[in-house]
Amino acid sequence: MPATNTASTYGTVTKAFHWLTALLILTVIPLGLIAEDLAFDAPLKVPLFSAHKTLGVIIFFVALARILWALTQTKPGDLHPDRRLETLVAHIVHWLLYVALVVVPLSGWLHHAATSGFAPIWLPIGQSLPFIPQSETLAEFFSGLHWVWSKILIVSILLHIVGALKHQIIDKDATLTRMWFKQSKVPETSEREKAIMAPIFALGIYIVAAGGAAAAGMLSHGDREPAIALEQVTSDWMVTGGTIGITVRQLGNPISGQFDDWTSVIEFDPTATGTLGHVTTTIAIGSLHLGSVSDQAMGTDFFAADTFPTATFDADITADGSTYLATGTLKIKDITLPITLPFVLNLDGDTAEMAGSLALDRRDYQIGQSMADESSLGFDVRVNINLTATR
């Protein structure tokens, strides 16, 4: 059996590539569909997604090798060139498959690289990609493309298999046997001529599908409706900027995020003795952006944002040498616990810049009770606060 294609049959390398890809693709698709369907805290969700991604990245490289190989090869001629429409459809489907082999894994991989957290790729490469910043907007974009293009792939495979079965069962011709390994008699054909229609048509389908997905709002971040939007507050010191961020460890990897909506009422007199002032910070839980797990963090087992839309930090400010302390309580959900936030303060006339950090144990606030294992979700949650306020 020749390794290379001839004008009438596929060579062993082409056949090996074809059936290896078919096997990998027909494995990776159910992995993706099943993993997607599982509940967030189902024990199999993360390993199935990791298997999906790992296999997907492998498919990407196999596909590149396959395409490079195909470019060097003669294309066996069509068995029924007279059936023009049927032949054109078969060619379009082949092109849809070739394009999918690149764009489907690539869009999945770009989505993975642009977001943080969740299931890792089980390879030493590819957790992040060059020129791809961590961005939820970008992640949403690629996730939408991955969804819609993987559906084109699924439909194309179905058409492709139905076509192959039709040739085998109804036409009883050599279409399937000449892609199989056993040497069999195949009719002489002359090399297929290069045609431009089918690849253009196939590419057009991917572009139109992407346009349709964009128009349907699938490629942009559907902002979560926050259960509450905080009212502006007035106080002695007005906050003019800053961030309240958290870092958690998921599957051993840090994921950082921040709350976009919070207010602080600050009374503070640096010349006072004893208690220097008081701070009340209210945080809209629904404004949290936390990599790929922002939505899950709102769930009943985590922040339960629908029932408890805000968290409140209420503390007195004192000084201990050059370190300041905010000592009071932090209420998350319906649990109020004592807490001390040490911070440094830079006072410049009527402008104050503060930066502080503390670690919380999520179990104290009954967050992620279903994830009792620290290796899936770390117990410590690091909170970083910095803000600028003017008098």
Nearer to ligand HEM, 97 or 279 (CB): 97
> Is residue 28 part of the contact set for ligand HEM (CB under 6 A)?
yes
**What's 289's DSSP letter?**
E
Torsion (CA) 199, 200, 201, 205 in degrees, nearest 10: 100
- Cα–Cα distance for residue pair 331/360, rounded to 1 Å: 12
- Residues between 288 and 327 that touch ligand HEM (CB under 6 A): none
Among 150, 189, 250, 282, binds ligand HEM (CB under 6 A): 150
Among 15, 45, 52, 362, binds ligand HEM (CB under 6 A): 52
Q: Find the shortest distance in angstroms from Cβ 162 to ligand HEM.
A: 10
> Is residue 175 part of the contact set for ligand HEM (CB under 6 A)?
yes
Among 16, 67, 70, 251, binds ligand HEM (CB under 6 A): 70
Return the range that interacts with ligand HEM (CB under 6 A); candidates 154-162, 205-213, 365-373, 376-384. 154-162
Site string for ligand HEM, 80-99 (x = CB under 6 A): ----------x---x--xx-
> Is residue 32 part of the contact set for ligand HEM (CB under 6 A)?
yes
Q: Find the shortest distance in angstroms from Cβ 301 to ligand HEM.
A: 20
Q: Give the ranges where 38-82 is alpha helix by DSSP (H).
A: 45-71
- Cα–Cα distance for residue pair 45/374, rounded to 1 Å: 17
Among 16, 29, 186, 218, binds ligand HEM (CB under 6 A): 29
Nearer to ligand HEM, 127 or 351 (CB): 127
Considering CB under 6 A, how many residues would be counted as binding ligand HEM?
41
Return the range that interacts with ligand HEM (CB under 6 A); candidates 18-26, 38-46, 260-268, 354-362. 18-26
> Is residue 176 part of the contact set for ligand HEM (CB under 6 A)?
yes
Write the CB contacts of 366 (distance below 8 Å, at least 6 apart in sequence).
333, 335
Other C-beta atoms closer than 10 Å to the C-beta of 246 total 19
> Is residue 15 part of the contact set for ligand HEM (CB under 6 A)?
no
Write the CB contacts of 30 (distance below 8 Å, at least 6 apart in sequence).
none
Residue 314, phi-psi category: left (phi > 0), alpha (psi -120 to 50), beta (remainder):
beta
> Is residue 153 part of the contact set for ligand HEM (CB under 6 A)?
yes
Q: Which two tokens stand for residue 350?
A: 């009527």
Among 89, 164, 209, 230, binds ligand HEM (CB under 6 A): 164
- Cα–Cα distance for residue pair 251/102, rounded to 1 Å: 29
Question: How do strand 262-268 and strand 277-284 relate by DSSP bridges?
Answer: antiparallel
Residue 131, phi-psi category: left (phi > 0), alpha (psi -120 to 50), beta (remainder):
left
- Cα–Cα distance for residue pair 337/364, rounded to 1 Å: 8
Strand-pairing partners, residue 314, are: 280, 329
- Residue closest to 246 by CA, chosen among 188, 302, 308, 205: 302
Q: Find the shortest distance in angstroms from Cβ 104 to ligand HEM.
A: 5
Using N-to-C axis directions, what is the helix angle for 197-215 and 84-114, rounded to 10°? 50
Among 1, 2, 12, 36, binds ligand HEM (CB under 6 A): 36
Positions touching ligand HEM (CB under 6 A) are 18, 21-22, 25-26, 28-29, 32-33, 36, 52-53, 56-57, 59, 70, 75, 90, 94, 97-98, 101, 104-105, 108-109, 111-112, 121, 143, 146-147, 150, 153, 157, 160-161, 164, 175-176, 179
